Structure 1
Amino acid sequence: MSFQGSPQTPSPGAGQANISLRSQRWVQIPGYDIECEIGRGGMATVYRAVQQSLGRRVAIKLLAHELNDDNEFAERFKKEGRILAQLSHPNIITIHDIGVSQEDRLFLSIEYLSGGTLKERIKQGLSIDSTLQIIKPIAKALSCAHQNGVIHRDVKPSNIMFRYDGLPVLTDFGVARTVGAKTIYTAAGLIVGSPGYMSPEQAMGESATIQSDLYGLGVVLYEMLVGHPPYQANNPLVTILKHLNDPLPQLPDQYRYIQPILNRLLAKKAADRYQNADEFLDVIDRIIPIDTGTQPKIDVTHGDQILTESISGKIQKLPKKRPYFLVFFGIISIVLLVIAIGYNFQSKIKITEPMLLKLANPVKKPTLIRSNTEISVLLQQAEVQLKAGLLTGTGQSAEANYRQILKIDHDNAQALAGLENIAKEYERLARQRMEAGALQESLDYLKKGLSIAPKIEGLLRLRQEVEQHVAKIRDQKIEQERQQEAQIQAQQFLIQAKSSFRENSLQITLAHIEQGLLAIPDHPELLALREQVMARIIEQQRQVATRQQQEEEAQRQAKIAEHQKAEQARQRAEANQCLARALNYQKAGRYTASLQQIDKGLAAVPNHEGLLRLKEQLHVEASAVQQQKVIRRQTARIANEKKHAQHKPIKASSVGENDATMKKLQDIRNSIDALNQSLIK
């Protein structure tokens, strides 16, 4: 992730009101005053802040999600902090601290870089010297990282920033990989890197190596020299395919001597590239002088002249170049000889002042006077060539004839007007090509026209207009590339989200979706998938709530049942106590009291078998006792009557009656005995 501060930088000692305002708008991180947001990426947001303890300005890189939301992102974030902590190099961004914010989100406190990005400087244009002053330190930074077992995996202009003094710094190790690490926080088959700067092996989904970073460095070198990446397309996937299949890009003629270096950096096979960044640095230092950076060094030896291409390790014989080298050495030899002779004989030869004046003022050759007839012929030829469209060139052209006339007559008005007409014709052609959308051709025509007449306002205005069109198209292309890159990022997060969704890891799925929406907020598939995830989460929450209600109801019913069971046990115990007392009363013959105890026990346990059985027995006993009382009363009455009858004469009828009474009495006694037997049983 790249970031850049705003032009107006508040003082670290801002007032309490500003601190209060910031605390209301931004996240809260202990020990830091957040000033503003300065960058946002797929995994984190970057804020400019002031470290309270030291009063220094820093950049705070804050993880986009809470610490426990997604272990994968948290571990990757911690890994970036550990990598930066172990890399100590002036051209690698410095880490100050790592911690957790009040919102339970991981953060990195890193060096604040205020000098902008390389991407912005490329837009402004870079000289060869500036290019070398940037590419070499970044190569040294990569060398340091590689020596510590770290592969950056995303070397590109937006990840190269500058300190306030212009020193280039390699940043954003968010997708860096540690060589030999057993844990890889990247989904299998997921492409890591940016399409425009991705090595062929990364595009194939293979593990990145040192040579992968060198490939990205080669793409950056080409872009600094030419102004745009070597492989471009409207579709990121097409761009990736170009990295895999298209031929190596060719530099303009003025940078042709750097072509072998670029060929090694951008070789399709990793094995054909430099072994490491140090080898690249050694070669570029030997080929391109560190001061001017304009021409390669050439080693000349005896015999056949050879050009040692340190870049490719090959030696090419140049027999065609031999004559030029021999002439060169011949001239040098003659000069040295003259100097030596002059040095040896300067005391013997006395050069007088008149001789020096004579040497300094050679006799002028007579000037050739051109006739008016020759000028007239040249003007006619130029007029015909102008109408035929033969405007410029070293051969037969209108410009050449007008120039020839001006050599004869420096102030010839017709020739000067003719040159102006050529410039205006180029203006017409340039405007025509501009309206047709061929902006580069239009600029070429304008360049030719201005080379003839540099001060024509029409050409100058048109060039400005065309350059504005070019800048607008370039900006649109950059925006399109950004959108394409965002589309790839969103698509990658969509793939991860779908995978997590299939595994029912809904929180991780939401994290991937939100990361993708940071890249493309209106991505239809991500939005649709988020709706599905939210629906599933709501359904799961409903199911959980239902289960909780069922569990709570079951617990309540269990408590009720337990209470009822306890109450039944208590009531049964009470009924048993009533039964015991009732039996005691029964034995004592206190049937009424026994019945009261039975009724009391049955009130507690209505279906108590013991109490019911005892109650039935008591009813039988009570009935028997009642019958016994009746029999006793009858027996007593019969006895009284019998006693009274002894004093009276017995009549025959009375004897019969007494016999019937005795029989009846015997029946009663038998009934009482049977009742007693039943009671005993």
Structure 2
Amino acid sequence: MTETSPGALPVPIVPGLTDLRVFARGGYATIYKATQISVGREVAVKVENRTLDSEHDQARFLREARAAGRMSSHPHVVDLFDVGVTVDQHPYLIMELCDGSYAERMRTSPLGPAEARDLGVKIADAIAHSHAAGVLHRDVKPANILHSHFNSAVLADFGLAVVAEMRDASVALEVLTPAYAPPEMFNHSPPSPAVDVYALCATLYAVMHGRPPRWQSERNPSLITVLEMFHQPVPGLPGVPPEMIDVLRAGMSNDPGERPSAVELRDLLAGLPLGPAGSPVGGTGVPGPVGGGPG
């Protein structure tokens, strides 16, 4: 695979789409807003900044991305309309266009415990569905949980996980989102379903707290600091019942074997004695249509 400077990328040519315009750029992908010609609807197109140079890599991406696309039948997984590789060998995903992400929401108005619980139940169920089909997400984080007027929570970005896995070890840490990655991901252990459970619990903590667990500020800490954080306890949060924090702590155990499964996490969250959540997030008016975090 080769790397291209994101700023130098020309607008890609994607079959069946027109009027592509950049919406967001990230470390390893660019999101475009576009119109699907056949049905006249607006969609989000996520294009990898790197290229897949060999036919073997391209075939593997298409095979595994299409397998991940089967996850989109779940009501809390973003609709994936198509996948492919551009003429100049950049893999892409065509997805439903959503209104915003929980990364934006947590910065402007963090969730209360009941709303975070309901979000966790929905996304844990989506993850359990994918795990039952043998598909890991590997990058659960607030930027990859989207909301729209019609759906308060959908998980995005199953399809690009395989591209991250295919990179060599030298860029593995670049692809990780350290705030939501468990300790085993930093020692090159093979990913397991427990990785997604950890990331979801860290995400739920973050959307209530306004920043990731154990982080002292919004700035990204050094890798050494991140590794040291795993030895620090996860503190409680004002207004959040201790029972909920205990569930999230269990899901963020440093030992993958001690974490609940996604099904168990869903049931633990659903059983928390909290009041009803407030109005759906889709009605908050967070600006900006998206189709997953840019990277």
Q: TM-score, normalised by structure 1?
A: 0.36
Unaligned stretches of 5+ in structure 1? 1-24, 179-183, 294-517, 520-681
Q: Which of 41, 58, 71 is matched with 2:43 structurally?
A: 58
1:177-204 Cα distance to aligned partner (Å, 9 max, x none): 69xxxxx524358445211111011122
Q: Which of 150, 153, 169 is matched with 2:154 structurally?
A: 169
User: Which has the higher relative contact order, 1 or 2, with Cα contacts under 8 A spaced 6 or more apart?
Assistant: 2
Judge conservation of contact 2:82–2:94 (CA < 8 Å) in 1: yes
Alignment of 1:111-126 (within 5 A): 111-113=96-98, 115-123=99-107, 124-126=109-111
SS at match of 2:12: coil
Q: Which of 193, 200, 205 is matched with 1:217 structurally?
A: 200
Distance 2:40 2:153 in 1: 24
* Aligned length, in residue pairs: 263
Q: Which of 108, 112, 117 is matched with 1:132 structurally?
A: 117
Distance 1:177 1:290 in 2: 39
Residues 254 and 61 of structure 1: CA distance in aligned 2, closer, same or farther (over 3 Å): closer
SS at match of 2:234: coil
SS at match of 2:237: coil
- Give the structure with the higher percent helix: 1
Unaligned stretches of 5+ in structure 2? 1-9, 279-293
Residues 258 and 29 of structure 1: CA distance in aligned 2, closer, same or farther (over 3 Å): closer
Q: Which of 89, 95, 107 is matched with 1:110 structurally?
A: 95
Corresponding position: 1:82 with 2:66:
yes
Residues 287 and 26 of structure 1: CA distance in aligned 2, closer, same or farther (over 3 Å): closer
- Give the structure with the higher percent strand: 2
1:357-376 Cα distance to aligned partner (Å, 9 max, x none): xxxxxxxxxxxxxxxxxxxx
Aligned position for 1:205:
188
Judge conservation of contact 1:72–1:185 (CA < 8 Å) in 2: no
Corresponding position: 1:228 with 2:211:
yes
Residues 78 and 249 of structure 1: CA distance in aligned 2, closer, same or farther (over 3 Å): farther
Judge conservation of contact 2:102–2:142 (CA < 8 Å) in 1: yes
Judge conservation of contact 1:63–1:77 (CA < 8 Å) in 2: no
SS at match of 1:212: helix
1:267 positional shift? 1.2
Aligned position for 1:157:
142
Amino acid at match of 1:118: Y
Distance 2:93 2:257 in 1: 36
Q: TM-score, normalised by structure 2?
A: 0.77
SS at match of 1:47: strand
Judge conservation of contact 1:154–1:175 (CA < 8 Å) in 2: no
Judge conservation of contact 2:181–2:199 (CA < 8 Å) in 1: yes
Aligned position for 2:5:
none
Aligned position for 1:279:
264
Residues 270 and 171 of structure 1: CA distance in aligned 2, closer, same or farther (over 3 Å): same
Distance 2:247 2:133 in 1: 25
Judge conservation of contact 1:80–1:176 (CA < 8 Å) in 2: no
1:121 positional shift? 0.8
Aligned position for 1:486:
none
Judge conservation of contact 2:62–2:84 (CA < 8 Å) in 1: no
Find the structure with the greater CA-based Rg: 1
1:388-411 Cα distance to aligned partner (Å, 9 max, x none): xxxxxxxxxxxxxxxxxxxxxxxx
Aligned position for 1:187:
168
What's the Cα RMSD here? 3.0
Residues 129 and 34 of structure 1: CA distance in aligned 2, closer, same or farther (over 3 Å): same
Identity of paired residues, percent?
A: 31
Alignment of 1:411-426 (within 5 A): none
1:50 positional shift? 1.2
SS at match of 2:111: coil
Distance 1:266 1:85 in 2: 27
Residues 65 and 74 of structure 1: CA distance in aligned 2, closer, same or farther (over 3 Å): farther
Residues 201 and 215 of structure 1: CA distance in aligned 2, closer, same or farther (over 3 Å): same
Distance 1:100 1:173 in 2: 16
1:487-525 Cα distance to aligned partner (Å, 9 max, x none): xxxxxxxxxxxxxxxxxxxxxxxxxxxxxxx99xxxxxx
Corresponding position: 1:256 with 2:248:
no
